[in-house]
Structure 1
Amino acid sequence: MKDTNSTTPRTPYQGPPKRSSQDSDPTSRSRDGRSAPEGPRLNSAIRALQVRVVGEDGEMIGVLSRKEALDRAMEVGLDLVEVSPDADPPVCKILDYGKHKYHEQKKLAAARKKQKVVEIKEIKVRPVTDENDYQVKLRAMKRFIEEGNKVKVVLRFKGREISHHELGLKVLERIKVDMDLFSKVELDPKFEGRQMIMMLGPK
């Protein structure tokens, strides 16, 4: 006979389903509803009940409720952007966030272009160098320096030339004199194995 008093074990209550971080911390949204997770809070994502509002032309409108501020932005077809969330109350500005973000990205790109990366250009010479070859390399050094780069002059000895290192030093000293108007010596001539090096930089 079947035991009618037996019951099926109940599964312990796990609590309500967990909300994702995106649900608990709404991201900024533009007028078309797209998220802007790395930007400021926009429109309905603004949490403060009262905000200090700056108009689209830069005029200070004053402290409004969040709803009033959103209504003002919607009336002119723009976004309400929280620009100073730590202020009391937070400061919001009425603007076209898409256009604003585009201009900010252009400014950032322009600033990066101005940040010149200094390169080290290498020029190789010999203890005995043909005058025409010397002048060609001298012009190259001047061009590199004028472009804001550094020049590493490498003078390599072959065979028994190493026993006449004064010839190499003489060539490097000549380069120092000929480049004096354009550059400064950042590293005086020194030996590295079977070669001597010297570093020049812009004045």
Structure 2
Amino acid sequence: MPEVRLIGVDGEQIGIVKLAQASELAEEAGVDLVEIAPTAQPPVCRLMDYGKFRYQESKRKHDAKLKQKQVQIKEIKFRPNTDEGDYRIKLRNLTHFLDDGDKVKVTLRFRGREMAHQEFGVRLLERVRDDLESQAVVEQFPKMEGRQMVMVLSPKKKDIKPGKTKATESGSTTTS
């Protein structure tokens, strides 16, 4: 007759008992006999309400899924001859996206004879990279995809230093 290590409804150790006795105890308590660790010697079984256990597990997984942050990829489109004012506005939008924790796809579209002067596009993307150096990391370096040059930026991880408060960050100190 096989033996199992039995754990009670409240998590207390009952001990090593015969399988038939364990199933009798489960019937008396009105719960299920669930095998927790089949590879252990002897196998570990627990007295529990299996339906309630499955419900709590699914609820725990659902709550964990809700707490995950979905990272979105935002896209900003440039042209090789983008004016300074437009460049500043697009750069400001890029910083907002990065501050929100989103990845940014910077697309540079070439038209007609602009394809012959791709170095202008490379310089523009390098300028974007240099301007956002403190906030972003280049995840995908500039590469050509048809008539577009694409670069992907992701936000830098923020270093949170323990023990710092707003008062110490602003430079004000209190003396007693």
Provide the TM-score with structure 2 as the length reference: 0.69
5 Å-filtered alignment, 1:55-134, equals: 55-113=8-66, 119-134=72-87
The whole-number CA distance in structure 1 between the counterparts of 2:19 and 2:143 is 70
Map of 1:156 onto structure 2: 109
**Pairs within 5 Å for 1:1-203:** 49-113=2-66, 119-203=72-156
Describe the SS at the equivalent of 1:68: helix
How far 1:76 moved relative to its partner? 2.8
Say which one has the larger Rg.
Answer: 1
CA RMSD, Structure 1 to Structure 2 (Å): 2.9
Distance 1:168 1:151 in 2: 17
Cα-to-partner distance string for 1:120-179 (whole Å, 9 max, x where unaligned) = 443211122244543443344334434544322111122333344443333222211221
- Structure having greater relative contact order (Cα 8 Å, sep ≥ 6): 2
Identity %: 52
Tell me, in whole angstroms, the C-alpha distance in 1 between the residues paired with 2:77 and 2:116.
19
Gap regions ≥5 residues in structure 1: 1-47
Aligned residues: 156
Equivalent-residue separation in structure 1 for 2:51 and 2:145 (angstroms)? 57
Q: For structure 1, which segment, 109-118 or 70-79, has the greater mean C-alpha deviation from structure 2 after superposition?
A: 109-118
Tell me which stretches of 4 or more aligned residues in structure 1 moved more than 6 Å: none
TM-score of the pair, normalised by structure 1: 0.62
Question: What's the offset of the Cα at 1:62?
Answer: 0.8
Instruction: Measure, in 2, the Cα distance between the counterparts of 1:147 and 1:169.
Output: 26
Q: Which has the higher helix share?
A: 2
**Tell me, which stretches of 5 or more residues in structure 2 are unaligned?**
157-176
One-letter code aligned to 2:21: E
Instruction: Quickly say closer, same or farther: Cα 1:59–1:127, change in 2 above 3 A.
Output: same
